[in-house]
Copies of this chain bind each other. A is one copy, B any other.
Amino acid sequence: MPAKSTKQRITEAALKLFEEFGFHAVTVDKIVQESGTSKGGFYHNFKSKDELLYTIHESFISYIIDKAHQAHASWSTPAEKLYETVHSFVRMFEVYQAHVTVFYQESLYLSPVYFDSIKKKRDRYKDMMFSVVKEGKQQGEFRHELPVPITSMAIFGMINWTYKWYKAEGEYSIREIADIYADLIMQAVLTEEARNKKDYQRFFLGHKVM
């Protein structure tokens, strides 16, 4: 295994520092110090502090879009797609919590060109969620009285907020949290008929008592 490149070391150090203190409270000197390189090393690998922030955003949003595509491709019914999307999104926190934190906390500070590029991808991801919910309503699996955009944003909210409080060493594992969120969401959006479908019982915490 090759040793970590300077670029990687910088990215990882920056990620942790941004997560803890916020983009503006972290100086390039601090990042340089923490990653064991120098001003020169930093600006050799990145055009600017902004570009570093952008690469962090970029790597995260690409990953998550990829996951959503997988969920779409691997399952056929809207209920299954939604369940899988929610579950895989939450599990993503295990590895990407710092990315998510920076993504939602600091995207405001991306310079315009970078911001537009990220926004496009973020919107694409949002649209995928909207599609699933829409499809679910059309096929009668999801309650027809729920409007697509609000329901979708509610789901996003529940999931995304996790970055604010989740601690790896906390009482609940990320998988447990994923199970609970998925249960809550499926319980909230499925029609009574779909909820009782045999194949869908696996969505619910069911008999497991926590």
A residues at B contact (CB < 8 Å): 21-22, 24-25, 104-105, 108-109, 144-147, 149-151, 153-162, 164-165, 171-172, 176-177, 180-181, 183-185, 187-189, 205-210
Instruction: List 5 A-B pairs, minimum CB-CB distance, nearest first.
Output: A157-B161, A24-B24, A188-B188, A184-B188, A145-B205
In the assembled complex, how far is the CB of residue A120 from the closest CB belonging to chain B, in whole angstroms?
16
Instruction: Compute how far the CA of A160 lies from the CA of B176 in the bound complex, rounded to whole angstroms.
Output: 22
Q: Are A162 and B157 in contact (CB under 8 A)?
A: yes
Instruction: Compute how far the CA of A136 lies from the CA of B194 in the bound complex, rounded to whole angstroms.
Output: 26
In the assembled complex, how far is the CB of residue A76 from the closest CB belonging to chain B, in whole angstroms?
25
Q: Are B24 and A205 in contact (CB under 8 A)?
A: no
CB-CB under 8 A from A21, the residues of chain B are: 108
CB-CB under 8 A from A210, the residues of chain B are: 145-147
CB-CB under 8 A from A24, the residues of chain B are: 24, 109
A–B pairs, 23, beta carbons within 8 Å: A22-B108, A105-B105, A145-B208, A145-B209, A145-B210, A146-B180, A146-B183, A147-B180, A149-B171, A150-B180, A151-B180, A153-B161, A153-B162, A153-B165, A154-B181, A157-B158, A157-B164, A158-B161, A183-B188, A184-B188, A184-B189, A185-B188, A187-B188
Q: Which residue of B lies closest to A19 (CB)?
A: B108
Instruction: Compute how far the CA of A207 lies from the CA of B146 in the bound complex, rounded to whole angstroms.
Output: 11
Output the residue of A108, A162, A183, A184 with the most chain B CB within 10 A.
A184
Instruction: Compute how far the CA of A109 lies from the CA of B156 in the bound complex, rounded to whole angstroms.
Output: 25
Known: A22-B109, A151-B180, A157-B164. 6 other contacts (CB 8 A): A24-B109, A145-B183, A145-B207, A145-B209, A147-B210, A158-B158
